[in-house]
Amino acid sequence: NAGVMQNPRHLVRRRGQEARLRCSPMKGHSHVYWYRQLPEEGLKFMVYLQKENIIDESGMPKERFSAEFPKEGPSILRIQQVVRGDSAAYFCASSLGAENEKLFFGSGTQLSVL
């Protein structure tokens, strides 16, 4: 009965490289949320996806960031041409439905940009 799985736990990239963060939601969950946690700050919503659809991406930076949740496989948060300011912990959460009843969070991916 695995929870929300995120990998990798730690990701180091040099400026200009691409970062791909993966999130496998809990079994049976079709709603995925991505959050970013910057040092000394709270969680900031980035994007909300259902299978094959982006429902709300109001928190996503307009450039370099994209997310997908394909019919098969994990949700992917992709950051192109990373910059030092992208260094943060990225958390994924999943829920069974859209009623905000309960989010289950993964342990996060710590992205470090050198």
Partner 1 sequence: AQSVTQPDIHITVSEGASLELRCNYSYGATPYLFWYVQSPGQGLQLLLKYFSGDTLVQGIKGFEAEFKRSQSSFNLRKPSVHWSDAAEYFCAVGGHGQNFVFGPGTRLSVLP
Q: Which residues sit at the interface with partner 1, rule CB under 8 A?
A: 4, 6, 33, 35, 41-45, 48, 56, 58-59, 91, 93, 98-108
Q: Which residues contact residue 99 at a Cβ distance below 8 angstroms, ignoring those fewer than 6 apart?
A: none
DSSP annotation of 25 reads: P
Question: Cis (ω within 30 of 0) for the bond into 8?
Answer: yes
Rounded to a whole number of angstroms, the minimum distance from the CB of residue 106 to partner 1 is: 5
Which run of H or of E encompasses 12?
Answer: strand 10-13
74 vs 106 by CB, closer to partner 1: 106
At 17 the three-state DSSP class reads coil
76 vs 103 by CB, closer to partner 1: 103
64 vs 105 by CB, closer to partner 1: 105
Rounded to a whole number of angstroms, the minimum distance from the CB of residue 105 to partner 1 is: 4
